Amino acid sequence: MKAYYSMSMFILLTWLFLALLAPVLPLYPDQIALDKILLMPEWSQWLGYDDLGRSISSRLIMGARTSLSVAIVVVAISFLLGTFLGLMGAWLGGVWDKCLVMVIDLFIAFPGILLAIALAGLLGPGLMNAVIALSIVSWVGFARLARVQTLSMKNRDHVNAAHALGTPNFIIALKHILPLIMAPLIIEATFAFAGVVIAEAGLSFLGLGVQPPIASWGSMIRDGTRYMLVAPHMVLAPGFAILSLVLCINLLGDALRDKMDIKEINKE
């Protein structure tokens, strides 16, 4: 299993490395070559060309930059907002907690991707609107997990001792509870990251995410569906890119979860 995790880390770091260096690499994702339209992969261009004669490898790297940027921003916003709301709701209790539970149940009642599509449709197509729509959908998982973890921590001895010493509630929540609930939240973030990559590709596939000429894996698959019989590489390249990235993130999330579970068992 360690070999799988090492390979997953290598592939993930490779995508991150390519995404970071995309602006300085000699890439021409929007350069049209009419004499190369729908050409199959060759030695000079391993992934071939699309329906406009653009390099698929160049657009794949720029698409990685788009997908990873959206995923990082959405997960960061969702992590901060969801953790804060879940922690405060469980800590304050009463009406605040009941309102939070009602809102969480309302969001969970709708499939996440369908709600994201509806929000993106209302806000209009575009990168920023896609980020907003996905952030609105993704915070719920963090809030639910943070609330449950806080409820299990708020009556422990060290928290009661901090109360007895007159420590302000905000300090108790920040220093005595938040560090103890970070481990499951970090694991949740890894799986949320993979989910956002798929969701962003889905929105772009439907035309609600990144708009042309900006490259996106979802829009590349959408464009390639019209030429599946004559140029299957237009769909296979971004499809395998999404598969490799999401699979590697999930494998690393499983490894991280197993490692943290072992630590908890050793502590007990």
pLDDT single digits (tens) 91-136: 888 899 999 999 999 998 888 888 899 999 899 888 899 999 999 9
| Domain enclosing residue 180, as ranges | 2-8+69-267
50 lies in a domain?
no
Q: Provide the pLDDT confidence category of residue 263 given band limits of 50, 70 and 90.
A: very low
Q: Which helix (H) or strand (E) holds 1?
A: none
Query: CA-to-CA distance for 169 and 164, rounded, in angstroms?
Result: 11
Residue 28 lies in a domain: no
H helices present in the chain, as ranges: 2-21, 56-92, 94-108, 112-123, 127-153, 157-164, 169-171, 178-205, 217-224, 233-267
The DSSP output letter for 33 is: -
Whole-angstrom distance, CA of residue 65 vs CA of residue 136: 22
In angstroms, the CA 8 to CA 2 distance is 10
CATH number at residue 257: 1.10.3720.10
Q: Give the residue among 94, 95, 97, 73 at the shortest CA–CA distance from 86.
A: 97
Joined tokens for residue 239: 């499809």
Q: Which two tokens stand for residue 99?
A: 């309102």
d(CA 209, CA 219): 8
Question: Would you mind telling me the total number of residues written for the chain in this entry?
Answer: 268
For residue 58, being part of any structural domain is answered with no
Which of 63, 75, 43 minimizes the C-alpha distance to 190? 75
**Residue that is written with structure tokens 């050409």 in the block:** 39
Q: Tell me whether residue 73 is in a domain.
A: yes
User: How far is CA 55 from each of CA 15, 25, 32, 223, rounded to the nearest angstrom?
Assistant: 18, 14, 8, 14
User: How many domains does the chain divide into?
Assistant: 1
Task: Quote the percentage of the chain above a pLDDT of 70.
Answer: 96
223: which residues sit within 8 A by CB, 6+ positions away? 50, 51, 234
Residue 129 resides in a domain: yes
Which position has the token pair 């579970």? 261
* C-alpha–C-alpha distance, residues 44 and 148, integer Å: 54
The whole-angstrom separation of Cα 119 and Cα 136 is 9
Q: Is the pLDDT of residue 138 over 60?
A: yes
How remote is the C-alpha of 48 from its chain's centroid? 28
CA separation for the pair 104, 116 (Å, rounded): 15
pTM for the predicted model, two decimal places:
0.89
**What is the model's pLDDT at position 1?**
61
Q: State how far Cα 267 lies from the chain centre.
A: 31
- Asked whether residue 78 is assigned to any structural domain, the reply reads yes
Q: Helix %, strand %, coil % for the chain, to 5? A: 75, 0, 25
Is residue 117 in some structural domain? yes
pLDDT (tens digit, 9 = 90+) per residue, 53-77? Answer: 999 999 999 999 999 999 999 999 9
Residue 138 lies in a domain: yes
Is 80 exceeded by the pLDDT of residue 152? yes
Q: Tell me phi and psi for residue 189, to 5 degrees.
A: -65, -35
